[in-house]
Amino acid sequence: MTQVKLAPLGDRVLVRPLKEEVTKGGIYIPETAQDTPECGVVVRVGSGKRLDNGQVSAVGVAIGQKVVYGKYAGTKVKVGVEELLFMREEDIMGVYED
């Protein structure tokens, strides 16, 4: 995977969706029948949300973290041959912990 040269602004996050199309038993599941929520890996993060007092609140996720988000969260954007998602930090429901 190449370095993405697209930087999100503010409290936005750029996520690479993880596609798991086959079950452990080897059964193919079409995208329309997959369960929600979705998961992906954070590729880039913005500088943070600007508060009313002018300060910037840093984004709470870091590059490389695996996150869970809603099925319809974010906006698809194509970078090269790869499809990524732009989403606000608030669209992320959780982070996988090791």
pLDDT score at 82: 87
pLDDT score at 71: 84
pTM exceeding the 0.85 threshold for the entire prediction = no
Mean pLDDT along residues 4-12: 86
Mean pLDDT along residues 39-66: 91
The answer to whether 74 and 85 have CB atoms below 8 angstroms apart is: yes
